């Protein structure tokens, strides 16, 4: 039972246990990427580095010894871990979020919406949109759908008609009569008072209500300078629980006010700026809601906008890879009478730029936690590529971080012609023996491979 | 071989390979090496056959086949051209030689073989003939002092030689005379024409009937002076001649031997004829190598005296006495003696040898292993190769003593793939030693048993790192492992394993024979004994030298290197290869001592020592080493795999004059991070050249930020320019490979800078062409 000291705290662990295990026993959180329980330690990614005897060492692969003195949470170790994550991201050929999603003011997961539309599941698509989009009837009326400009398909033969599809969904909803509201969390005992809100304030209210905060308006809702069915949107907010008829608002926890009205600014007063542009208002409103939630210490883990790596400009070869999974048809414009089938066809033009693993990618999560910069400068050494021979699993080599876990899984399962690490140095990546990709098709255990991969390099098809 | 089946003949020969080599995991590398030996590359069908018939998982074959750079996956040309990109050759312009060969053979970008599949171009690390830099090897011919302009002639010479080739192999003959003719035959000497000298001497003996032993000996430690001929006349007096040309051989031999009988007349006329040439043939040198002030030869003891694989000769010089002596000692006494000597590992790290031996000894376990690390990956060094080529028995003796001390019964010699002669000689010596019962069971009548086998690397520098070496032996890709556990605790097959460098083993017999104290008397307190260096670069006399520790770097240059090349001033010394650093001229009084060198940011390293002058650009040198590191990084850990790649990107920008101040800071930050966070010694030392040059030559980096290369080395920052001295002779226009110079007889010629690829050919052809700095501001 060696005893060691981590960040000043003593701990005893069984013989053979690693420093990582010892730290976890103490409740000290050390991030890992290339380590997975049940496999030999990777000693590769170095995001688990600790300092022992003045040297940075991978804690996952260092066996604890009697009397060891380990540093884990110092600023310089954090910066080394961050540096490791940044180096990995700089070589990463993928987008966590699609370009369209990144520019959409509230981060609506557009490719997911398009997949539902393509499959004819309009109601689910609408539900998805409403979860992320306040003031939908106004959003649908914005001319030219500016987020379409970011659409990757625009570089090829015209953006996907995302604006048309959003408009269609909004119109569908309109036909249903009563507006539908997104699912909201159960109300908790927290109250926000909105002082004469405009679009920004209403957007903030939308998200606060969704997260279970009660909201009441005092004063009058401002006249908005944007086209769209405002009455319908207010009804939707009321359905979500917004109190528009100000009665007594006893002791609100926070107050959301326009800038001019609050010279004193106690710290529970949040300034709410109305912008001349609807999308700017939505963006500001979402951000404001986030600040309020944080102030109220409400855990809304999924709420803050997540960071994303971006491919940036892509080569013609990469475009060809993207186009493989999309319909070849040209963009169609819609009129009020366009049939649903045609709208689905348009949605099939989407290139699905988003990463399948975006929601549960360990690389992304660890990098965010370490405060790593996701931006890349200089050239990408690897191209975006897809190996889609297998019916269940997709392999994207550009996202492989060479952790070796898939190889270890092959070995463990006795798969003699499975995925393994190929090459050396900078070029080392998961691959197939003899470069024979056709055999990827026979690879069983798809779930296991997808689960073990710490990035989205190996992911289930859907 | 596009179809999926092997011919019956092929599969039966592969079956034989399997039977011979085995099919366990450890056989992966040897099996693939054998397949490549047979086909010149790894045909897919052969790999599939192996996978199907050996029971080895395809993943195992493939991870190894794609990890080691020497494996080829497509057929090669008939001949391989090995262009040396070692440090010395790089400094003297190797990249231009490669470019020139590519252009001459019309090898397309991204390919390595010419369209007719005659030549395959390979860039290799040091060929061990740095004194000839820049150098290349084709088959067993070496070409030196190349210029882009001489490439064509060299390749034609080679093809002509191939046609005429006769390759007599002479074994040392026993004859009943004491007279000897000794010619050093080690890679570097062979490169300098010792083969021709030997042929001439053989011819002389055949024609004249003179009775003398013709003997190929190991390194004489005078590489820059070879071909060397040492004549031991019947009265046992020794006469040494340096820089001998084949045509001189007859005359020199006649000075010391009288041909018998009939031939007397004929040769007398020959001698008369030769008299006219007198003064051209070299004069005799005093044979004073060992007496050279301050040169004590331990690793190179008896250099140039013995035929490497002649056991009798080795024994006549005291060979295997040390082993006999050790057999009468307890292991504690042996280790104690090594401890007294203060010997530290010569493989770079300088770990106290006795301490390591003691750890292996004390680790329990019936099965222990010993490994000689002969991977010598430093692209600018070749002393381990020379030791293996020249003193195979001394190494066997050293290893046997070590095995005895630590309790190992089996040992492995891991030898770099590019050292075929070393492998041949070691293999031969093992065979001889086994026959003489110096290896095997019950050695010298004792109860000590020890056997040795040879394994070859496959061109991966990181496999010199001891844990990577062990992975490689175990049939995995050469990934280093986290230490601890150290190999002394758990190494090869998870057993206690002693890993030592070639030179470390080479000095063991001397220490046991003469006692540790005598060894400790040489050198400094913490660094005792001698160290072998490969001295190269801008000195007059390069070559292998053995110097006492504690001597200053400047003294090495002055006393052993004969000073700087005429008209040039010392600027810096790169010491320790890719893991080492640069000492500026003003620090060259630093003694050769592990701690003193470490204090400057450089390291002792394995022994590469490259001398630089004002013509050399240190940013370019840093870029060169970083490019080497990037190619050699195993890819396991992120700091080294991606961090060094990022560093190289910045260094390349610096050399192209497009880097910004911010990137220089980034370079410094990354250097610190990679050093701190890398898993193994390769990454941990990789930034040293960058860090030391930044420390001592920062202004040179800053000049590159301004788009200026003070040494005029960085091609993209300079251009060729035809001066007013042009007389319109058109030679430059004829020689330019990309037609960047218009053919304008009798008029001043002009270089089209857009087309110019900066090969420098025109500047070789004409004095009127100079290199000019492009300055951005
Ligand atoms: C990247 C790298 C390359 C190395 N290459 C060699 C080598 O070529 N030869 C060698 O003897 N040691 C080499 N070493 C050092 C070995 O890891 C090991 O320390 C050495 O063989 C131990 O022998 P010694 O104690 O006799 O020096 C290398 C180390 C590193 C980190
Ligand atoms: S693998 Fe992870 S980091 Fe990479 S694109 Fe996907 S979500 Fe982002
Ligand atoms: S192709 Fe699809 S996922 Fe990509 S940007 Fe366009 S709409 Fe978004
Ligand atoms: S593909 Fe394999 S090696 Fe690459 S990141 Fe995923 S599990 Fe690791
Ligand atoms: S430092 Fe470099 S060579 Fe060493 S393990 Fe890491 S990647 Fe491999
Ligand atoms: S190095 Fe420890 S988790 Fe990757
Ligand atoms: S022969 Fe080229 S560097 Fe040694
Ligand atoms: S004399 Fe040739 S290697 Fe030393």
Does residue B637 fall inside a structural domain?
yes
CB B241 within 8 A of CB B233: no
Nearest CA to B369 among B489, B468, B478? B489
Distance CA(B36)–CA(B50), nearest Å, equals 13
Question: Which residues have C-beta atoms less than 6 Å from ligand 5?
Answer: B 462, 480, 633-637, 640-641, 678-680, 682-683
Residue A352 in contact with ligand 3 by CB distance below 6 A: yes
Q: Does A290 share its domain with A264?
A: yes
On whether both B436 and B318 belong to a single domain, the answer is yes
Say if B156 falls within a structural domain.
yes
Same-domain check for residues B701 and B728: no
What's the pLDDT band for A301 if we cut at 50, 70, 90? low
Tell me, yes or no, if A359 comes closer than 8 A to chain B by beta carbon: no
**Position with higher pLDDT, B580 vs B245:** B580
**Residue B40 and residue B75 in contact, taking contact as beta carbons nearer than 8 Å:** yes
| Residue A263 CA neighbour count, 13 Å, CB half | 0
Question: Would you state the pLDDT for residue B284?
Answer: 59
Phi, psi of A407 (to 5 degrees): -65, -45
Using CA atoms, how far apart are residues A244 and B199, in angstroms rounded to an integer? 108
Same domain, B85 and B211: no
> From B476, which residue of chain A is nearest by alpha-carbon distance?
A421
CATH number at A449 reads 3.30.70
What does the pLDDT average to over B477-490?
A: 94
Measured between CB atoms, does A90 come within 8 Å of chain B?
Answer: yes
- Give the nearest partner residue to B679 out of A43, A419, A431, using CB atoms: A43
- Same domain as A208, residue A287: yes
Mean pLDDT, range B101-117, rounded to an integer: 91
Q: Tell me the sheet residues that pair with B205.
A: none
For residue A74, pLDDT beyond 80: yes
Contact A99, A152 (CB under 8 A): yes
Length of chain B: 777
Q: Across the A/B interface, how many CB contacts are shorter than 8 Å?
A: 121
Q: Is B485 on the interface with A (CB under 8 A)?
A: yes
| CB contact A461 to B (< 8 Å) | no
Interface test with A, best of B71, B635, B654, B680 (most A CBs within 10 A): B635
Q: pLDDT value at position B290?
A: 40
Q: Is the pLDDT at B47 greater than 90, yes or no?
A: yes
Q: Do B699 and B719 share a structural domain?
A: no
Pairing of strands A458-460, B79-84: unpaired
Q: How far apart are CA A20 and CA A81, in angstroms?
A: 14
Do A212 and A258 belong together in one domain?
yes
User: Could you give the 3-state DSSP secondary structure of residue B51?
Assistant: helix
Note the ipTM here: 0.90
C-beta neighbour count of B330 within 10 angstroms: 11
pLDDT in tens, B337-384: 999 999 999 998 899 999 999 999 999 888 999 999 999 988 888 889
Domain count, chain A: 4
Same domain, A195 and A175: no
Residue pLDDT, tens place only, B660-691:
999 999 999 999 999 999 999 999 999 999 99
If asked whether residues A145 and A224 sit together in one domain, one would say no
Q: How far, in Å, are B148, B401, B536, B609, B611 from residue B576 at the CA level?
A: 29, 28, 12, 7, 12
Residue of B481, B636, B660 for testing the chain A interface, max A β-carbons within 10 Å: B636
CATH of the domain at A213: 3.50.50.60
The dihedral formed by the CA atoms of B726, B732, B738 and B743, expressed in degrees to the nearest 10:
70
Shared domain for B639 and B701, answered yes or no, is yes
CB contact under 8 A, B634 and A424: yes
Tell me: do A30 and A63 sit in the same domain: yes
How many Å apart are CA A416 and CA B422, to the nearest integer? 37
Whether B604 is in a domain gets the answer no
Beta partners for residue B771, in sequence order: B720
d(CA B337, CA B353): 11
CB count in 10 Å sphere of residue B431? 12
Instruction: Provide the Cα torsion A43, A47, A52, A57; round to 10°.
Output: 20
Which of B660, B686, B711 is the C-terminal boundary of a domain? B711
Asked if B257 and B406 sit in the same domain, the reply is no
Q: Do B44 and A434 touch (CB under 8 A)?
A: yes
pLDDT higher at B766 or B592:
B592
CB under 8 Å to A189, separation ≥6 — which residues?
none
Q: Is B361 helix (H, G, I), strand (E, B) or coil?
A: helix
Give me the number of domains chain B comprises. 6
What pLDDT shows up at residue B588?
A: 95
How far apart, in Å, are the Cα atoms of B510 and each of A248, B237, B300, B413, B513? 100, 26, 11, 20, 5
CATH code for the domain in which residue B91 is found:
3.40.30.10
Question: What would the pLDDT profile of A45-55 be if each residue is shown by its tens digit?
Answer: 999 999 999 99
Q: Does A55 reach chain B within 8 Å, measured CB to CB?
A: yes
Among the listed ranges A10-24, A443-457, B157-171, B700-714, which one has the minimum average pLDDT value? Answer: B157-171
Report whether pLDDT(A126) > 80.
yes
> pLDDT of A25-40, one tens digit each?
999 999 999 999 999 9
Average pLDDT, chain B: 86
- d(CA B45, CA B258) in angstroms, rounded, equals 62
| β-pairing verdict for B581-584 and B718-722 | unpaired
Q: Name every chain A residue with its beta carbon within 8 A of the beta carbon of B673.
A: 80, 83
Using CA coordinates, name the residue in chain B closest to A422. Answer: B63
Domain residues for the domain of B275 are: 180-291
Locate A169 and state its tokens: 């969904």
Alpha-carbon distance A427 to A413, whole Å? 26
Helices (H) and strands (E) in chain B, counts: 32, 19
Mutating to test ligand 5, I would choose from B643, B648, B683 the residue with most ligand atoms within 8 A of its C-beta, which is: B683
My answer on whether B223 and B359 are in the same domain is no
How confident is the model at residue A337, as a pLDDT? 86
In a domain, B58, yes or no: yes
Nearest to B697 by CA among B575, B603, B581: B581
The pLDDT of B251-267, averaged and rounded, is: 58
pLDDT tens digits, B430-455: 999 999 999 999 999 999 999 999 99
Nearest residue of B to residue A87, measured between CA atoms: B642
Is B59 within 8 Å of A90 when comparing Cβ atoms?
no
**What are the pLDDT digits (tens) for B127-167?**
777 777 888 888 767 788 888 888 888 888 888 877 765 44
Q: Which helix (H) or strand (E) holds A199?
A: helix A199-210
Structure tokens at B239: 């006469």
CA angle B514, B414, B501 (to 5 degrees): 35
A425 touches chain B (CB under 8 A): yes
Q: Residue A17's domain is classified under what CATH number?
A: 3.10.20.740
pLDDT for the residue numbered B651:
97
pTM, two decimals, is: 0.87
Is B361 within the bounds of a domain?
yes
DSSP assignments along B524-553, one per residue: -SSSBSEEEEEEEESBSS-EEEEEETT-BH
pLDDT at B402: 98
Instruction: Pick A263 or A431 by higher pLDDT.
Output: A431
What are A325-337's pLDDT values in tens digits?
899 999 999 988 8
* In a shared domain, residues B361 and B408: yes
Chain B nearest-CA distance from A421, in A, is 6
> Per the domain annotation, does B296 fall within a domain?
no
CATH of the domain at B721: 3.30.70.20
pLDDT band at A203 (very low <50, low <70, confident <90, very high): very high
> Cβ contacts (< 8 Å) between B643 and chain A: which residues?
87
A contacts of B482 (beta carbons < 8 Å): 41, 43, 57-58, 61-62
Residues B57 and B83 in one domain: no
> Does B767 map to a domain?
yes
Chain A within 8 Å of B659 (Cβ-Cβ)?
no
Would you tell me which residues 8-27 of chain A have a C-beta closer than 8 angstroms to some C-beta of chain B?
none
Name the percent of chain A lying above pLDDT 70.
Answer: 97
Nearest residue on chain A to B44, alpha-carbon basis: A434
- Domain at A111, CATH number: 1.10.1060.10
Considering only CA atoms, which of B250, B489, B527 is closest in space to residue B360?
Answer: B489
Q: What is the pLDDT of residues B705-717, one digit of tens each?
A: 998 888 878 877 7
Q: Are residues B102 and B197 in the same domain?
A: no
The answer as to whether A185 is a domain residue is: no
HEC per residue, B21-67: HCCCHHHHHHHHHHHHHHHCCCCHHHHHHHHHHHCCCHHHHHHHHHH
Q: Which residues of B touch A45 (CB under 8 A)?
A: 637-638
The CB-side HSE value for B168 (13 A sphere, CA atoms) comes to 11
CB contact under 8 A, B63 and A55: no
The structure tokens 């180096």 sit at A87
What range does the domain containing A444 cover? 381-460
Tokens in use for A376? 């890349």
Structure tokens at B756: 């110019």
Domain assignment of residue A354, yes or no:
no
Quick one: which of B417, B363, B340, B347 has its CA closest to B82? Answer: B417
HEC readout, B68-122? CCCCCCCCCCCEEEEEECCHHHHHCCHHHHHHHHHHHHCCCCCCCECCCCCEEEE
Whether A309 maps to a domain, the answer reads no
Query: Cβ contact (<8 Å) for B51 and A45?
Result: no
Preferred mutation among A45, A91, A425 to probe B, highest tally of B CBs within 10 A:
A425
**Residue A303: predicted pLDDT:** 77
Strands (E), B442-594: 451-456, 497-501, 530-537, 543-548, 570-575, 581-584
Task: Give tens-digit pLDDT for A137-150.
Answer: 999 999 889 999 99
Top residue of A33, A403, A424 to mutate, by most chain B CBs within 10 Å, is A424
Quick one: average pLDDT of B238-264? 70
The answer as to whether A90 is a domain residue is no
Q: Tell me, yes or no, if A62 comes closer than 8 A to chain B by beta carbon.
A: yes
Question: Is A41 close to B482, i.e. CB distance below 8 A?
Answer: yes
Collapsing DSSP to helix, strand or coil, B612 comes out as strand
Q: Is B545 inside any structural domain?
A: no
Segment among A323-327, B481-485, B772-776 with least mean pLDDT:
B772-776
Last residue of a domain, one of A57, A73, A89: A73
Which residues are bridge partners to B769 per DSSP? B722
pLDDT given at position B196? 81
Q: Is A250 on the interface with B (CB under 8 A)?
A: no
The domain boundary residue, chosen from B688, B711, B734: B711
Q: How many CB atoms lie within 10 A of CB A17?
A: 18
Residue with the nearest Cα to atom 6 of ligand 3? A151
Task: Give yes or no: residues B705 and B720 share one domain.
Answer: no
- Of A55, A73, A91, the residue that ends a domain is A73
B93 pocket-lining for ligand 7 (C-beta < 6 Å): no
How much is the mean pLDDT over chain A? Answer: 93
Helix (H/G/I), strand (E/B), else coil: B148: helix
Decide if A209 is inside a domain: yes
What ligand is nearest to the CA atom of residue A36?
Answer: 6
Coil, strand or helix at B15: helix
Q: Is residue A439 part of a domain?
A: yes
- The ligand with the least distance to the CA atom of A44 is 6
Residue pointed to by tokens 């070299």: B282
Q: How far apart are CA B631 and CA A248, in angstroms?
A: 73
Shared-domain flag, residues B759 and B695: no
| Residues of B whose CB is below 8 A from A80 | 673, 676-677
Last residue of a domain, one of A73, A108, A124: A73
What token pair was written down for A338?
A: 């366009």
Q: Decide if B470 contacts B369 (C-beta within 8 A).
A: no
CB B363 within 8 A of CB B488: yes
Cβ of residue B53 closer than 8 Å to a chain A Cβ = no
Task: Establish if B643 touches chain A: CB-CB under 8 angstroms.
Answer: yes
- Are B638 and A84 in contact (CB < 8 Å)? yes
Indicate which CATH number applies to the domain containing B707: 1.20.1440.230
* Spatial CA neighbour of A210 closest among A184, A236, A242: A184
- Between A218 and B345, where is the model more confident? B345
| pLDDT of B259 | 64
Please indicate whether residue B125, judged by its CB atom, sits closer than 6 Å to ligand 7: no
Structure tokens at A377: 């400068």
Q: What is the distance of C-alpha B73 from the center of its chain?
A: 26
DSSP state of B125: S
Q: Is B721 helix (H, G, I), strand (E, B) or coil?
A: strand
Q: Report residue B282's pLDDT band, with 50, 70 and 90 as the boundaries.
A: low
Distance B566 CA to ligand 8 centre (A): 23
Which of B67, B88, B114 lies at the terminal end of a domain, its last residue? B67
Task: Return the residue matching tokens 């539908």.
Answer: A180
Ligand whose nearest atom lies closest to the CA of B192: 8
């Amino acid at each position: 039972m060696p005893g060691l000291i981590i960040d000043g705290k003593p701990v005893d662990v069984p013989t053979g246990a690693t420093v990582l295990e010892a730290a976890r026993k103490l409740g000290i959180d050390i991030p890992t990427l290339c380590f997975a329980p049940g496999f030999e330690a990777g000693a590769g990614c170095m995001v688990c580095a600790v300092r022992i005897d003045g040297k940075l060492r991978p804690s996952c692969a260092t066996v604890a010894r009697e009397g060891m003195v380990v540093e884990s949470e110092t600023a310089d170790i954090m910066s080394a871990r961050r540096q490791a994550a940044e180096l990995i991201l700089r070589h990463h050929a993928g987008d966590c979020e699609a370009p369209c999603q990144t520019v959409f003011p509230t981060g609506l997961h557009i490719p997911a919406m398009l997949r539902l539309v393509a499959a004819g599941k309009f109601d689910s698509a609408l539900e998805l949109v409403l979860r992320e989009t306040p003031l939908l009837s106004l959003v649908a009326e914005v001319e030219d759908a500016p987020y379409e400009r970011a659409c990757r398909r625009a570089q090829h033969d015209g953006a996907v008609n995302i604006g048309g599809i959003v408009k269609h969904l909004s119109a569908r909803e309109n036909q249903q009569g009563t507006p539908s509201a997104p699912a909201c969390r159960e109300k908790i005992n927290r109250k926000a008072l909105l002082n004469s809100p405009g679009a920004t304030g209403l957007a903030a209210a939308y998200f606060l209500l969704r997260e279970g905060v009660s909201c009441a308006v005092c004063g009058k809702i401002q006249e908005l300078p944007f086209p769209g069915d405002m009455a319908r949107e207010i009804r939707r907010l009321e359905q979500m629980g917004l109190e528009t008829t100000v009665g007594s608002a006893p002791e609100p926890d926070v107050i959301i006010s326009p800038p001019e009205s609050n010279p004193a600014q106690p710290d529970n007063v949040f300034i709410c700026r109305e912008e001349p542009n609807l999308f700017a208002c939505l963006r500001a409103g979402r951000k404001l809601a986030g600040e309020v939630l944080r102030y109220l210490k409400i855990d809304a883990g999924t709420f803050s906008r997540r960071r994303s790596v971006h491919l940036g400009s892509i080569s013609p070869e990469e475009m060809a890879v993207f186009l493989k999974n999309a319909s070849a048809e040209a963009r169609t414009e819609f009129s009020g009478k366009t049939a649903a089938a045609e709208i689905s066809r348009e949605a099939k033009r989407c290139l699905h730029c988003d990463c399948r693993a975006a929601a549960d990618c360990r690389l992304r999560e660890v990098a965010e936690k370490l405060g790593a910069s996701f931006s890349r400068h200089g050239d990408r050494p690897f191209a975006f590529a897809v190996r889609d021979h297998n019916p269940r699993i997709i392999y994207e080599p550009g996202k492989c971080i060479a952790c070796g876990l898939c190889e270890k899984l092959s070995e463990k399962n006795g798969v003699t012609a499975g995925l393994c690490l190929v090459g050396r140095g900078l070029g080392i990546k998961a691959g197939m023996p003899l470069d024979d990709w056709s055999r990827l098709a026979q690879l069983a255990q798809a779930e296991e491979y997808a689960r073990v991969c710490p990035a989205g390099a190996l992911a289930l098809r859907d | 071989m596009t179809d999926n089946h092997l011919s019956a003949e092929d599969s039966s020969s592969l079956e034989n390979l399997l039977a011979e080599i085995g099919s366990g995991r450890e056989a992966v590398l040897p099996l693939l090496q054998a397949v490549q030996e047979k086909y010149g590359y790894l045909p897919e069908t052969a790999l599939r056959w192996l996978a199907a018939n050996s029971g080895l998982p395809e993943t195992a074959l493939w991870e190894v086949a794609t990890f080691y750079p020497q494996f080829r996956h497509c057929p090669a040309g008939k001949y391989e051209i090995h262009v040396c990109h070692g440090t010395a050759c790089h400094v003297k312009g190797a990249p231009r030689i490669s470019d020139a060969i590519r252009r001459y053979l019309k090898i397309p970008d991204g390919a390595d073989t010419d369209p007719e599949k005659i030549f395959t171009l390979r860039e290799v690390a040091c060929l061990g003939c740095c004194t000839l830099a820049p150098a290349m090897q084709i088959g067993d011919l070496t070409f030196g002092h190349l210029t882009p302009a001489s490439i064509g002639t060299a390749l034609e010479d080679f093809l002509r030689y191939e046609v005429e080739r006769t390759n007599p192999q002479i074994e040392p003959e026993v004859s009943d005379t004491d007279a000897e003719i000794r010619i050093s035959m080690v890679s570097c000497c062979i490169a300098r024409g010792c083969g021709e000298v030997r042929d001439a001497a053989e011819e002389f003996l055949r024609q004249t009937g003179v009775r003398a032993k013709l003997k190929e000996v190991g390194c004489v430690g005078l590489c820059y002076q070879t071909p060397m001929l040492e004549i031991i006349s019947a009265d046992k007096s020794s006469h040494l001649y340096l820089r001998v040309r084949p045509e001189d051989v007859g005359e020199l031999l006649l000075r010391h031997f009288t041909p018998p009988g009939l031939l007397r007349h004929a040769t007398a006329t020959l001698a008369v004829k030769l008299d006219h040439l007198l003064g051209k043939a070299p004069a005799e040198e005093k044979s004073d190598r060992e007496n050279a002030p301050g040169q004590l030869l331990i690793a190179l003891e008896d250099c140039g005296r013995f035929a490497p694989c002649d056991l009798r000769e080795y024994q006549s010089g005291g060979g295997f006495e040390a082993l006999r002596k050790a057999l009468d000692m307890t292991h504690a006494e042996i280790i104690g003696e090594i401890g007294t000597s203060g010997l530290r590992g010569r493989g770079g790290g300088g770990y106290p040898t006795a301490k390591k031996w003691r750890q292996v000894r004390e680790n329990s376990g019936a099965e222990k292993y010993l490994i000689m690390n002969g991977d010598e990956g430093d692209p600018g060094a070749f002393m381990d190769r020379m030791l293996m080529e020249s003193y195979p028995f001394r190494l066997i003796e050293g290893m046997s003593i070590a095995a005895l001390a630590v309790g190992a019964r089996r040992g492995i010699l891991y030898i770099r793939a590019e050292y075929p002669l070393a492998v041949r000689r070691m293999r031969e010596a093992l065979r001889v030693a086994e026959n003489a019962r110096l290896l095997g069971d019950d050695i010298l009548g004792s109860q000590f048993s020890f056997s040795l086998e040879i394994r070859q690397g496959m061109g991966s520098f990181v496999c010199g790192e001891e844990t990577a070496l062990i992975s490689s032996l175990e049939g995995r890709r050469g990934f280093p492992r986290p230490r601890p556990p150290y190999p002394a605790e758990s190494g090869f097959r998870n057993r206690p394993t002693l890993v030592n460098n070639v030179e470390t083993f080479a000095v063991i017999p001397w220490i046991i024979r003469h006692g540790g104290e005598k060894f400790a008397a040489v050198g400094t307190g913490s660094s005792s004994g001698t160290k072998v260096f490969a001295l190269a670069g801008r000195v007059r006399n390069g070559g292998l030298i053995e110097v006492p520790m504690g001597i200053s770097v400047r003294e090495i240059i002055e006393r052993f290197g004969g000073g700087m090349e005429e008209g040039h001033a010392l600027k810096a010394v790169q010491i320790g290869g890719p893991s080492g650093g640069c000492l500026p001229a003003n620090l060259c009084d630093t003694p050769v001592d592990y701690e003193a060198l470490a204090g400057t940011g450089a390291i002792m390293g394995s022994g590469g020592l490259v001398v630089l002058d004002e013509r050399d650009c240190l940013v370019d040198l840093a870029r060169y080493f970083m490019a080497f590191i990037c190619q050699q990084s195993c890819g396991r850990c992120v700091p080294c795999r991606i961090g060094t790649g990022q560093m190289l990107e910045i260094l390349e920008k610096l050399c192209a004059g497009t880097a910004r101040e911010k990137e220089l800071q980034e370079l410094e930050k990354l250097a610190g991070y990679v050093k701190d966070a890398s898993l193994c010694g390769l990454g941990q030392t990789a930034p040293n050249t960058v860090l030391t040059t930044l420390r001592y030559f920062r202004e040179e980096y800053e000049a590159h930020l301004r788009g200026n290369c003070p040494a005029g080395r960085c091609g993209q920052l300079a251009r060729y320019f035809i001066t007013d001295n042009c007389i319109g002779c058109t030679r430059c226009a004829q020689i330019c490979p990309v037609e960047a110079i218009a053919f304008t007889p009798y008029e001043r010629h002009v270089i089209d800078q857009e087309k110019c690829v900066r090969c420098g050919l025109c500047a070789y052809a004409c004095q009127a062409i100079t290199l000019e700095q492009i300055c951005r501001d």
